[in-house]
A and B are shown apart, each in its own frame.
Chain A
Amino acid sequence: MDRRIRQLAEQLDAHQISRREFLRATAAITGGSTVGLGVMTRMAHAQGPKLRVWLFKSYVTAGNDILAKQVEAWAAERKVQIEFDWATFGDREQKFVASIEAGNPPDIAEMNYQGPMRYRPALRDVTKLVKDLAAARGGLLPFAERVSQIGGQYSGIPRLVFGNGLHIRKDLVAEKGLKMPKVYDPDVVEIAKKCQDPAKELWGFGQTLNRSDDGNGFMQNILWDWGGGTWDKDGKPALATTYLKQNLEAVQFAVDTIQKHKIQPPGVMSWTDVHNNEAYMAGKLVCTNNGASLFYAMGAKKHPLYDKTQVILTPGGPAGAFVASNSYNWGIFKATKHAELCEDLVRWVEDEKRFEEYMKACSGQAGPVYKARADHPYWKSDPNYEGMLQNILRGVWIGYPGPITPAAIEVQAQYILCDMAGRIVVGGLSPEAALKEAHKRVEDIHRIRSRA
């Protein structure tokens, strides 16, 4: 409570002033404070425009620091005040939803592949900027072209795609005289079985099917690997219709890694995105699929497994090897009063020199979305980066072989494929019943999103 109001209250209690005098005086004090705040706000405005910038806090902390410094350097150069906020894997979407619904989104934000599609109604059309940037960099890679636009209108400015791959213990593979795997079945299964030693708590393969980005990615990839998928070429649900046979085989394989082959550690069905990183770094896994953050973490900590690890192309299945390359993007919100400054900021951080500095600090996480960036010698400087790059270049998009749609994004966001696997492994459903159950949920999402 304000000191003056407290004194007045004490005087009122002591009957030194009347209630009317008390009310009059408190009104004067609070009114004065309000006017004072208004003056201070105007003074702040006089110091230059203020930009609210939301960046993504990834596990690759060196990259986060460099990007923040670049934004700060831009702000100093342009005499702009910056209000930073960081979104993490855990609270990213919540923050966007809350701010958009409150009518108070940031001016500009870094968002994942879901952002341009999901927050499209709140985002500015940035087609011209994307085309300018892409033209100067040899054009966008095919997956990036798909992710951030609908009908030629871009809602997001692609920035990077996370490098990823199968992180595998090359020392153990060499010890057994085996070759690096190209497909899951039989290659990964064979390596896992031969290299694992459950008595020493060393497991052949660490891949959760639980509700997580890791689980989502794996389930989506193997459906494609076996010739199936969630969506058909026209973007219609196909889990238990067009691709039922292929999907059944793929799902059966995923379940078999736990129940039949027994190459996964106990508790893998409860893992979240960090568990496989922890288990791998604790020396309890022969191989695991992950983004470059695992490789970065081992390098940054000078972990003994860093030199014993090879990052290779994500294995495939009978129909080929597929991965989703999901770009991270800049989004400029319609509500901003400083759209030109936001575009200027994007041009600044996407400058090739600055991006190079960022990319080199990211240990393979800052994969290319532009064709010219894919040719950078950095990607040939380490065989592990080469694997990550090739994974990115052959990447497809969520919704493949159909278009990327809000419904396809929501299926990912709701972990429908992970729930499907969970219903078999934990719920005891048959793969066919689980596929049909998941298909119904996908149809529901498709119907609701189509209406919107």
Chain B
Amino acid sequence: MAVPAARVGLHPAATGGPVGLRRVFGPDHRMGYLFVMPIALLVLSLVAYPFCYAIYLSMTHKLVGLPPVFVGFENYVRLTWDGFFQRAVVNSFVFTFSSVGFKLVLGVVMALVLTAPIRWRSFWTGVLLIPWVAPTVVSALNFLWIFDGSLGVLNYLLVRVLHVLPQGIGWLSEPGTAMASVVAVNIWRGFPFFGISFLAGMRAIPAELYEAAAVDGASVLQRFRHVTLPGIRNIMIIVVLLSTIWTFNDFQIVYILTKGGPGGTTMVMPVLTYETAFGAQRLGEAIAVALYLLPALAVTIMVLARYMRKGRKR
């Protein structure tokens, strides 16, 4: 049975209608809409509309200068059976997970070293942040020179100075080293972000916890496992998730170092998207490449987040 508002002690203004809105949002609530409208329009026009339009375009045959022709899921079906695309998918996962894995380990090591009582700690913190601060394009171009087979610094050191190798290696051109080299640059570029984030987390762990653990007879490793790791787990979740997204979308390092070559050995999804858009100039298919792994990536991130949260509850 419906109960009148008055009987339950509610003011009529709180039950809805213009008077209710005024009470909840204040006398200027209409003006509020006016102020919210620009940002709402901005989000709709700059995020929602382009995203929906991209989904539409991915289902078209769109060539430069010509109107799009709707082809349904044809682009996605074609990509599914395309060997070059399949290799790019595998490469993307190899590139992303190997990079993030190494960055995680190196980041923890960096944070542990910087929390230890070492001399000139601030100086070393600054030095270790350089790869993160330097523009990616500049770093990648430097590595292009470092890895150069005939003029590169790395081969010069290994062959001429250290005499470790009889002859230089084509770091970016051989099956065993091309992907490893681009991964190495990504790790070099990204691990300071992990390290500095973990460092902030570690400094927030109360010293009493370590003292109590030490009193209980916990070894250094046990203190790391049972005090430090749980203390930075939340930060770890965020940093790993962010880095996974950034690494998966990393374009500059791979494009500058190898352009996805040789023979597609280092072709990853962002570079393939770019090549399909500007090389092949098939815009519909390029967007399909970009969107193809969006659901899979979202699921991966959700699973990863859930797994790490589960660990925290334990």
Contact = CB atoms under 8 A, between A and B. Distances in A.
Interface of A: 19, 93-94, 96-97, 100-101, 118-122, 198, 201, 203, 209-212, 265-272, 275, 278-279, 282, 284, 410, 413-415, 418-428, 437, 440-441, 444-445, 448, 451-452
B66 A427 contact: no
Contacts of A282: 150-151
A17 B90 CA distance: 62
B279 A415 contact: yes
A93 B283 CA distance: 13
Contacts of A414: 275, 279-280
B29 to A, nearest CB: 13
Interface of A is mostly: helix
B170 A410 contact: no
Return the 3 tightest CB-CB contacts between A and B, nearest first.
A267-B149, A422-B263, A267-B170
Contact of A418 (B65, B152, B175, B261): B261
B132 interface: no
Given A413-B279, A425-B263, 12 more contacts: A121-B64, A121-B66, A210-B262, A267-B149, A268-B149, A269-B261, A284-B150, A410-B281, A418-B263, A437-B83, A444-B82, A445-B280
Contact of B264 (A100, A275, A427): A427
Contacts, number: 150
Contacts of B149: 265-268, 270
Contacts of A451: 61
A203 B65 CA distance: 45
Given A284-B151, A448-B282, A270 B263 contact: no
B259 interface: yes
B171 interface: yes
Interface string B283-295: 1000000000000
B307 interface: no
A94 B275 CA distance: 10
Contacts of A209: 262
B167 interface: yes
B161 to A, nearest CB: 14
Contacts of A419: 84, 261, 263-264
Contacts of A270: 147, 149, 170-173, 178, 257-258, 261-262
Contacts of A410: 279-281
Given A267-B148, A278-B151, A426-B263, A413 B281 contact: yes
B281 A266 contact: no
B244 interface: no
**Residue from the set B262, B275, B281 with the largest chain A CB neighbour count within 10 Å:** B262
B264 A422 contact: yes
B82 to A, nearest CB: 8
Interface in B218-239: none
14 contacts: A93-B281, A97-B281, A100-B64, A122-B64, A267-B155, A279-B150, A282-B151, A421-B263, A422-B263, A422-B264, A423-B263, A425-B173, A426-B178, A427-B263
B278 interface: yes
B162 to A, nearest CB: 16
Interface string B65-78: 11000000000001
Contact of A266 (B64, B150, B178, B260): B150
Nearest to A413: B279
B168 interface: yes
Contact of A118 (B82, B174, B281): B281
Nearest to B265: A426
A419 B28 CA distance: 64
Contacts of B262: 209-211, 269-270, 418, 421-422, 425-426
B169 interface: yes
A23 to B, nearest CB: 8
A123 B238 CA distance: 50
A327 B150 CA distance: 32
B150 A448 contact: no
Contacts of B277: 97
B8 interface: no
B150 A201 contact: yes
B279 A120 contact: no
B261 A279 contact: no
Interface in B144-167: 147-152, 155, 167
**Residue from the set A201, A211, A267, A452 with the largest chain B CB neighbour count within 10 Å:** A267
Given A270-B173, A415-B279, A211 B151 contact: no
B63 interface: yes
Contacts of B282: 448
A269 B170 contact: yes
A19 B171 contact: no
